[in-house]
Amino acid sequence: MSEEAISIETLYEIAARVDVIDAMRDFYEAADKGIAARGALCTNRGDCCRFGEFGHRLYVTTLEVVYFMAMHPSSLPVTVDACPHAIDGTCHAREGRPLGCRVFYCDPKAQDWQGPLTEEMLAQLREMHVCLKVPYVYQDWLAILRRVADNGGAGDGSVRLTIVD
Ligand code: SF4
Q: What is the pLDDT of residues 61-86, one digit of tens each?
A: 999 999 999 999 887 899 999 999 99
Q: Compute, in angstroms, the gap from residue 126 CA to the centroid of ligand 1.
A: 21
pLDDT given for residue 6 in this prediction:
75
Full-model pTM: 0.90
pLDDT given for residue 109 in this prediction:
85
In the predicted model, is pLDDT for residue 134 greater than 70?
yes
Q: Compute, in angstroms, the gap from residue 154 CA to the centroid of ligand 1.
A: 26
The type of residue at 1 is M
Evaluate: CB of 144 within 6 angstroms of ligand 1: no
In the predicted model, is pLDDT for residue 155 greater than 70?
no
Domain ranges for the chain, please list them. 2-163
Evaluate: CB of 85 within 6 angstroms of ligand 1: yes
pLDDT given for residue 159 in this prediction:
61
pLDDT given for residue 157 in this prediction:
54
Least confident of 34-38, 139-143, 160-164: 160-164
Q: Compute, in angstroms, the gap from residue 150 CA to the centroid of ligand 1.
A: 19
Evaluate: CB of 103 within 6 angstroms of ligand 1: no
Evaluate: CB of 71 within 6 angstroms of ligand 1: no
Q: What is the pLDDT of residues 88-113, one digit of tens each?
A: 989 999 999 999 999 998 888 898 99
Give the residue-averaged pLDDT of 26-53: 91
**Alpha carbons 133 and 130: distance in angstroms, whole number:** 5
Question: Which residue is closest in CA terms to ligand 1's atom 4?
Answer: 101
Q: Compute, in angstroms, the gap from residue 48 CA to the centroid of ligand 1.
A: 8
